[in-house]
Structures are given as C-alpha cells and as structure tokens.
A and B are shown apart, each in its own frame.
Chain A
Amino acid sequence: MMNDANVTNDEVQKLYARLDNEAEASGYHLNPDVEHTRDLVRGLLINEKRYGYWACPCRLASGDKEDDLDIICPCDYRDQDVEEYGTCYCGLYVSEDVLDGKQSVEPIPERRPPPEERKRVEQVPPAISSLSLPVWRCRVCGYLCAREGPPGVCPICKAKKDRFERFI
C-alpha cells in the first residue's frame, strides 16, 4: 500500500484561499459547500505529493503525467460540465446558479472517455495557414492567443503551458 501523504490543515486553507481568489478573478466559482470543497482541496494536495501534479481527486490517476494531463485540475472537462450540469465532475467548480443557491450540486456522469477511446484521440495536425503566427488554444477554458509558443500559464484559467494545443 502507498503511504498516504501528510497534508496539514494550514496547507489546505492556503490553497483553498488561493483557488477561491483565482476562480473569482477569472469568472469561475468554487463550490460554496465548504466541507465538500475543503475535502477536494485536501485531495489535490495529496495527489500533488503523490504524483507531482493536481490529479482530480475523484478520478483514478495513472501516475503518468502524459496520460493524466486531461484530468489535472482544472480538467479539460470542467467548463463543459459546469455549463451543462452546474458543476464539474468532482464538484470543486460550480456555476453562478449554484453559487446563488438556485441550483444544487448533484453527482454527474463522467465525461472523460474510457482509456481505449482516449488513445485514439491524437492531436489533429494543424491546418496550413498564411497567418504570421500560430494560434494556441487552452484546452481547459478555450483561451486563444497568437504567439510563437503557448504562455507559461493561461491568463484566464491558470492552466499550465502543457495544457495548450496548437489550434491554427
């Protein structure tokens, strides 16, 4: 059995506050259910110690970053799930309706394709274009930018560089 990583309440509180600030600054919302959200933040910190990145606490990570990229929080499926169900898969991020108490958070179906299908989704080769610069797309929030390479961190949702794909 793997040792469960030790995460202090102080670490949880700090990350909780940071994620809350970042979410609110970029138009996202954390789940107002404090206990639920705190448990998830603790899960993120445990996974950071275990795997080196914030694998979704409610999904089984492989431990291979390349395979887990789409489920590193915020995951590739968050925006679609918040749009459709008012919450992401684990319930860390929610819609404004949930925040305002107009909708409640219920468990939602898994949008991530099963392993067999994931392997088939290879990157589509970029279309030939006459643009002066390539366009990069954040796979988490859809942010687009035209520059030589993707930014280190998405200015909108804070996803890291490796979450960008070449769009045009």
Chain B
Amino acid sequence: MALVHVKGKNKGKVILYALSTCVWCKKTKKLLTELGIDFYYVYVDLLEGEEKAKVLDEMARHSSVRSFPTLVIEDKTCVVGYQERKIREVLG
C-alpha cells in the first residue's frame, strides 16, 4: 500500500487515512507533525482500482462511517474527523 512514513516519536503504529484535497485532513496531518509523532498516511483519493478498494476495506474495519480523516492507532483506537482534543489525548 502507498503509505508515506513521517518519522517521529513512537506511539505505536499510527495510520492516517486522508484525502489530498481535504482541509480537515491537512489540519490533522499538521497536528500529528507538530506533536512529533511517528505516523503513516495515505491519500485515498489518489489511489485507483484494487489498491483503493483494499484501503477502503481496511478503513471499514475500523469505522462504518468511512469519512476522512480517519486515524487508526495500533489497529484498535479509531478517531474519525479532526478532533483535536481527542487526538492530543490519545497521542499527546
């Protein structure tokens, strides 16, 4: 999968499912970067075909809403939307 790695403090495996055109995704990515967290992100709107379907299935395992941004921590905690306080709580 086309995950991009942003290096930082290890807080477990953090994956950000985002859209390249989405402002809330941009804010979430900025917050993670400011917090200095080690994370991976993927722009789902830039994927095609099977790869896109695979990533959407993966997202659906964590959240039925399947909206963006979706943040998954350690394959168990899921934060949907740019919830600044909650993200700081979980990762700060």
Interface residues, chain A, with chain B CB atoms under 8 Å away: 1-2, 4, 36, 39-40, 42-43, 46-47, 57-61, 90-91, 107, 109-110, 114
B82 near A60: Cβ-Cβ < 8 Å = no
CA distance A4 to B45 in the complex (A): 10
B26 near A39: Cβ-Cβ < 8 Å = yes
Closest to A112 in B: B67
- Hey, which chain B residues are within 8 Å of A46, CB to CB? 20-21
- Hey, which chain A residues are within 8 Å of B81, CB to CB? 107, 109
- Hey, which chain B residues are within 8 Å of A43, CB to CB? 21-23
Please judge, given known A-B contacts A107-B81, A107-B83, A110-B65, whether A58 and B19 are in contact too, CB under 8 Å.
Answer: yes
B2 near A57: Cβ-Cβ < 8 Å = no
Q: Which 6 A-B pairs have the closest CB atoms?
A: A43-B21, A57-B21, A58-B22, A110-B67, A107-B82, A107-B81
State the main secondary structure of chain A at its contact with B.
loop
Closest to A1 in B: B46
- Hey, which chain A residues are within 8 Å of B26, CB to CB? 39
CA distance A36 to B30 in the complex (A): 14
- Hey, which chain A residues are within 8 Å of B66, CB to CB? 60, 114
B48 contacts the other chain (Cβ, under 8 Å)?
A: yes
- Hey, which chain B residues are within 8 Å of A58, CB to CB? 19, 21-25, 68
B44 contacts the other chain (Cβ, under 8 Å)?
A: yes
Please judge, given known A-B contacts A43-B23, A57-B22, whether A114 and B65 are in contact too, CB under 8 Å.
Answer: yes
- Hey, which chain A residues are within 8 Å of B24, CB to CB? 58, 90-91, 107
A60 near B68: Cβ-Cβ < 8 Å = yes
B47 contacts the other chain (Cβ, under 8 Å)?
A: yes
- Hey, which chain A residues are within 8 Å of B2, CB to CB? 1
CA distance A110 to B47 in the complex (A): 22
25 examples of A-B residue contacts, CB within 8 angstroms: A1-B47, A1-B48, A2-B46, A2-B47, A2-B48, A4-B20, A4-B46, A36-B23, A39-B23, A40-B23, A43-B21, A46-B20, A57-B22, A57-B23, A58-B21, A58-B23, A59-B67, A59-B68, A60-B45, A60-B66, A90-B22, A107-B81, A107-B83, A110-B65, A110-B67
